[in-house]
């Protein structure tokens, strides 16, 4: 019988082991065929392991708060000289990206300080694998103060795009990791929306949709796609001028005027929103890709510029007044999107951690296929046995899933009780607000996997099969019925 290696050469520390990606990482590292095996695995998170967490996946579970430098030193110093590979998958999300930068980079600095700096020459740490995401190419989309100003790169997103001129905690994490190079190598893994299981995840999109579908089934409600984000602003226009838009439920409407210098549009001023008009459900057009430039035009230090996109569903009879029908989020319904299976992310992170050529590189990591939300909605309707509700421009009224779900906490408690599920709170396991924002993208959310393949990583996942598998796993874990 093969003797178990008592002193494995590869010792992993996963920070964020109970999260959506941490869980799959622990599973992958314990697979005996994984590169670098056998791995000794330390898994860490702030809270003790939940009941559903398979503790056999880690050699030791460590509870500590990475934001607290004293706690980090206390809990990690005993193992710090053993760790050869750091897998970085924790996440702190606050209202503003500036705070995200501070919190996420403080956590990484605290941990690296214990693993490297305080071990003066005795550290075994060889590699840091950082999980980040496509916000690298889109900017901090969840920061409300930047709403409407971000301009994502053209798709497919590519790793060599320069950084965007907006604060971004991913950039900061990369810089912290790179500051330890060349002594310690690093790799960056840019994920799309992650598909996996953890109910301890801040953003578990599949679980969010699964809970929504389960509640619709339970209450006999239609399983509708998220419709409302671009509320609609009818207004009388003079030719060449366009009134702006209302985004994310804010009440800011901008009057945009064509700029004589570059053909772009310049914000003229904030015009007051008339709610009665807005509720009629018509829109003139909307401003796509808002961005700020320094300029003297308005007398302020910043000028908002935007590329105007007129709604494609022009109402012919009213063409003369430039009135357009609302578009809601039909774009994502019928355009391409990609996601990242958490198992694939784990595979790529371990590959990069054990492959010389991949060191000090950033890689996109998505399933490698694309889908339309229409198809995914059909699949979810089938899996959760609810009627498929097509997106219908004519019939779809304004519908705000975030508002609807605020009322459903008690219904979820009832479902949990009835089916003997692991006890969860609806607001803790779902992320409707973030989902709503993502489903209202007006560009195809697709990353290129070419660089990853060129460097020798060929992993891929069939998204539709993976969705079925993960829903099955959520049921097995008794998170959903
Ligand atoms: N989820 C997605 O769809 C998605 C998409 C694209 C990119 N990403 C990126 O992927 C990376 C990992 O995110 P994720 O979604 O996998 O995270 P996640 O599922 O929310 O998990 C976060 C993990 O970090 C732990 N944690 C948080 N604060 C901690 C602290 N102060 N000290 C110790 N542990 C702490 C959590 O444990 P506790 O719960 O006990 O605090 C949990 O185990 C992030 O950079 C994120 O932006 C995620």
Which of 30, 37, 36, 29 lies closest to 87 in space, CA to CA? Answer: 29
- Using a pLDDT cut of 90, give the percent of the chain over it: 66
Is residue 338 within 8 Å of residue 369, measured between CB atoms? yes
pLDDT of residue 148: 60
Instruction: State the CB neighbour count (10 A cutoff) for residue 300.
Output: 11
For residue 391, the CA-to-ligand 1 centroid distance in Å is: 33
pLDDT at position 235 is 35
Going by pLDDT thresholds of 50, 70 and 90, the confidence category of residue 397 is low
Where are the domains positioned within the chain?
10-206+338-371+441-476, 241-327
> Which position has the higher pLDDT, 220 or 240?
220
Of ligand 1's atoms, which has the minimum distance to the CA of residue 198? 19
Q: Which two tokens stand for residue 199?
A: 């109910």
Domain covering 10-206+338-371+441-476 in this structure, CATH number: 3.40.50.720
Give Cβ neighbours of residue 3 (< 8 Å, ≥ 6 apart).
Answer: none
255 bridge partner residues: 243, 269
Question: DSSP characters for 47-85?
Answer: SPPPTTS-GGGSSEEEE--TT-HHHHHHHHTTTTTT--E
Ligand 1 neighbourhood includes 89 CB (under 6 angstroms): yes
Residue 442 has pLDDT above 80, yes or no: no
96 pocket-lining for ligand 1 (C-beta < 6 Å): no
Q: Which of 57-66, 146-155, 258-267 has the highest mean pLDDT?
A: 57-66
- Determine what percent of the chain is predicted with pLDDT higher than 70: 75
In angstroms, what is the span from residue 203 Cα to ligand 1's centroid? 8
Question: Which residue has its alpha carbon closest to ligand 1 atom 38?
Answer: 46
DSSP strand pairing (10-15 vs 85-88): parallel
Give the Cα separation of 306 and 254 in Å (integer): 11
Residue nearest atom 2 in ligand 1 by C-alpha distance = 194
Known active-site residue 330: no
Mean pLDDT of 152-174: 94
pLDDT at 70 over 60: yes
Residue 198 CA to ligand 1 centre (angstroms): 10
Tell the residue nearest (CA) to atom 47 of ligand 1: 132
Residue bearing the CA closest to ligand 1, atom 23: 16
Q: Is 76 in the pocket of ligand 1 (CB under 6 A)?
A: no
Ligand 1 atom nearest 22 alpha carbon: 16
Question: pLDDT, tens digit, for every residue of 293-342?
Answer: 443 333 333 333 333 333 333 332 232 222 333 445 778 999 999 999 99
The response to whether residue 201 sits with its C-beta less than 6 Å from ligand 1 reads: yes
User: Active-site residue 135, yes or no?
Assistant: yes
Q: Is 46 in the pocket of ligand 1 (CB under 6 A)?
A: yes
d(CA 233, CA 230): 9
Q: With bands split at pLDDT 50, 70 and 90, how would you rate the model's confidence at 135?
A: very high
Q: How far apart are CA 23 and CA 59, in angstroms?
A: 14
pLDDT tens-digit profile of 406-419? 999 999 999 999 99
Q: What is the pLDDT of residue 393?
A: 58
> Which member of 170, 186, 225, 324 is catalytic?
170
The catalytic residue among 30, 75, 109, 135 is 135
pLDDT in tens, 77-100: 999 999 999 999 999 999 899 999
pLDDT digits 0-9 by tens, 461-470: 999 999 999 9
Query: Alpha-carbon distance 53 to 24, whole Å?
Result: 11
The answer to whether residues 65 and 44 touch, using CB atoms and an 8 Å cutoff, is no
pLDDT value of residue 118: 80
pLDDT of residue 341: 98
Place of tokens 């060349």: 182
Choose the weakest-confidence range: 77-86, 142-151, 264-273, 459-468: 264-273
Burial call 233-249: b when 16+ CB within 10 Å, e when fewer:
bbbeeeeeebbbbbbbe
Q: Which segment of 310-324, 368-382, 386-400 scores lowest on mean pLDDT?
A: 310-324
Measured distance between the N- and C-terminal CA atoms of the chain, rounded to whole angstroms: 42
């Amino acid at each position: 019988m093969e003797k178990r290696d008592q002193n494995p050469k590869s010792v992993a520390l996963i920070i964020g082991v109970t999260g959506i990606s941490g869980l799959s990482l622990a599973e992958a590292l314990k697979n005996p065929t994984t590169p670098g095996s056998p791995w000794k695995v330390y898994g860490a998170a702030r809270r003790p392991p939940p009941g559903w967490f398979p503790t056999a996946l880690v050699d030791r579970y460590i509870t500590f708060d990475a934001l607290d430098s004293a706690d980090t030193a206390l809990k990690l110093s005993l193992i710090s000289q053993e760790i050869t590979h750091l897998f970085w998958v924790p996440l702190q999300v606050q209202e503003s990206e500036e705070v995200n930068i501070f919190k996420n980079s403080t956590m990484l600095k605290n941990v690296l300080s214990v693993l490297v700096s305080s071990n003066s020459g005795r550290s075994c740490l060889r590699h840091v694998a950082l999980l980040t995401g496509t916000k690298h190419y889109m900017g901090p989309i969840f920061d409300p103060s930047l709403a409407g100003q971000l301009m994502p790169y053209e798709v497919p997103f590519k790793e060599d795009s320069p950084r965007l001129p907006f604060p971004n905690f991913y950039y900061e994490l990369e810089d912290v990791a790179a500051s330890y190079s060349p002594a310690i190598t690093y790799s960056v893994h840019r994920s799309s929306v992650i598909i996996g299981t953890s109910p301890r995840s801040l953003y578990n999109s599949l679980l969010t949709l699964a809970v929504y579908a389960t509640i619709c089934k339970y209450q006999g409600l239609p399983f509708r796609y998220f419709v409302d984000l671009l509320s609609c602003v009818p207004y009388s226009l003079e030719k060449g001028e366009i009134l702006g838009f209302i985004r994310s439920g804010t009440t800011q409407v901008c009057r945009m005027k064509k700029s004589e210098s570059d053909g772009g549009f310049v914000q003229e001023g904030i015009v007051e929103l008339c709610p009665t008009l807005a509720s009629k459900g018509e829109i003139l057009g909307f401003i796509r890709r808002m961005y700020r430039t320094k300029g003297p035009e308005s007398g302020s230090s910043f000028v908002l510029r935007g590329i105007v996109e007129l709604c494609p569903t022009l109402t012919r009879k009213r063409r003369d007044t430039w009135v357009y029908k609302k578009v809601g989020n039909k774009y994502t319904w019928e355009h391409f999107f990609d996601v990242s299976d958490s198992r694939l992310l784990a595979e790529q992170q371990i590959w990069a951690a054990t492959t010389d050529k991949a060191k000090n590189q950033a890689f996109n990591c998505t399933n490698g296929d694309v889908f339309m939300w229409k198809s995914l909605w059909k699949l979810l309707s089938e899996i959760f046995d609810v009627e498929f509700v097509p997106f219908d421009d004519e019939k779809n009224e304004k519908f705000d899933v975030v508002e609807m779900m605020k009322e459903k906490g008690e219904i979820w408690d009832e479902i949990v009780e009835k089916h003997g599920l692991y006890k969860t709170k609806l607001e803790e396991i779902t992320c409707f607000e973030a989902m709503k924002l993502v489903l209202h993208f007006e560009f195809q959310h697709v990353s290129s996997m070419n660089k990853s393949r060129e460097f020798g990583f060929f992993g891929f996942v069939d998204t539709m099969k993976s969705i079925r598998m993960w829903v099955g796993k959520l049921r097995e874990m008794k998170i959903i019925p």
